[in-house]
Chain A
């Protein structure tokens, strides 16, 4: 997947709204160069930002070269309006265009922000892969 500049910055922990040092320093240099306020006192301000966590990187799961004979779970992860219909259309597409692929529809249990370890275990035991509809 192509990662744009904003996303690359995010990998470094930089919010798009806070392009960290580079933007801030540029602002400071620009203001300093054009302020023309030589007589005004200059002060140092402390950053109000909190402390970001270090990020543990994870590898994606290895890919098979073909989906023939494989099982794919299509999971309605949030139950937003229309998501179940969309996934059932996807099942129909596989049945019509790739009949060698078996699909299984599941709804993630619980509220949209809740985990469902039972379903993840079922997928790990029975499926090659999963497509999850997150929203909206």
Chain B
């Protein structure tokens, strides 16, 4: 911008602020920190923040701001040019397998579960799962900090190392490469502790023995388990993400990060269009779709004829209205639920999503007071972006849709038909990618 600028945030983000400045090319950036938090404090408390010490530097905050804007720059603060950086050691060892487990774990390169040690031989075997060159670049490194990573780059070989560590077989590798191709990779660094869901469609589900039947979301198949795990390992290692206090700020974290809610859709027992076809792919194509959001919840409904749709109606409305607004819903139906909904007339996903969209409403007051509205959606309303601009002009008791569009609601089918249960992930669709491209 070319004018003196002083960023100010709370002490909770000291490390993140300093690392962000360094990665953006200003490692000595003058910054000011207030006590944490700012939100929820009274006017008097916030006024006092300004005349009390910066909890990081110890200087009185207003004096610090004045000094930061008037004290001449040091040589370090005026330094320009390129700073080359390194990712660390290219190899570890030779050492015993147990010691290498410790080294990988102690250096933040695992999910703290045992890994398959990535030897050259195992990585070469993994690379046989694709026709692509090991040196092909999937992502070019970019200066700065993304929402979930430090924007590092990676090649097919570097992806293979992480696939080995996760326990993948070479035949799973095209799926992992397709996931790596969509980026940004998890872990999702937001304070919301959001996680990921990975939905896989196409004939490859059977080729890889993916489980979409009984216990589809539980650890009953190597492919479901290790493909999901590889997402988190790639996020930590390939993009330097998932470092608490640095590239990861999730307050409570998210247990879904261990597997990232892998869903192989049961296309045979689904009465609806498969998810990938809905997104424009051909039925015979193999596709991975990435969703992101904070949580998943279970509903019991659509168990018999007649009244069941009301049960589903009530539950889906309640479940969606307790979600984080502004994001989407990924509804995971057992085939029994899907069948009952079709019997009720919802024979297409479009009819169903439109019905959920209309059923899930809230008052303008609830919307305005929701977590995301104040800092995420209100600024959009100020820009005149719809529907937020209109919503902010309505009276408190006016009813508005919970979702901005029916397209934020997606349905997939899997499960063992043991009972008519469904689950709803508070997750939005990010991107989908061809798996076939990576075979």
Quote the shortest CB–CB distance from B303 to chain A (angstroms).
41
Quote the shortest CB–CB distance from A80 to chain B (angstroms).
5
**CA A1 – CA B23 in complex, angstroms?**
16
**CA A31 – CA B103 in complex, angstroms?**
9
Q: State the majority secondary structure of interface residues on B.
A: mixed
Q: A42-B94, A52-B87, A82-B40 are in contact. List 20 more A-B contacts (CB 8 A).
A: A10-B23, A12-B85, A16-B243, A23-B107, A28-B92, A31-B96, A35-B98, A42-B96, A48-B104, A53-B142, A56-B82, A59-B78, A59-B79, A63-B70, A86-B46, A86-B50, A90-B50, A109-B379, A111-B376, A136-B13
Total contacts A-B at CB 8 Å: 362
CB-nearest residue of chain A relative to B8? A133
Quote the shortest CB–CB distance from B161 to chain A (angstroms).
4
CB-nearest residue of chain B relative to A64? B70
Contacts of A35 in B (CB 8 A): 95-96, 98-99
13 contacts between A and B (CB under 8 A): A11-B83, A18-B109, A44-B120, A45-B117, A46-B90, A51-B141, A54-B141, A57-B82, A60-B78, A112-B376, A128-B4, A131-B8, A136-B9
Cβ of B79 and Cβ of A57 under 8 Å apart? yes
Cβ of B87 and Cβ of A57 under 8 Å apart? no
CB-nearest residue of chain A relative to B144? A53
Q: Interface code B354-372, partner A: CB below 8 Å = 1, 0 otherwise?
A: 0000000000000000000
Among candidates A55, A109, A113, residue contacting B83 with C-beta atoms closer than 8 Å: A55
Cβ of B86 and Cβ of A136 under 8 Å apart? no
How many A residues are at the interface, by size bracket? Answer: 35 or more
Cβ of B85 and Cβ of A47 under 8 Å apart? no
Decide if B152 is an interface residue (CB 8 Å cutoff).
Answer: yes
Cβ of A55 and Cβ of B9 under 8 Å apart? no
Contacts of A3 in B (CB 8 A): 18, 27-28
Cβ of A45 and Cβ of B84 under 8 Å apart? no
Interface segment, one of B30-38, B204-212, B292-300: B30-38
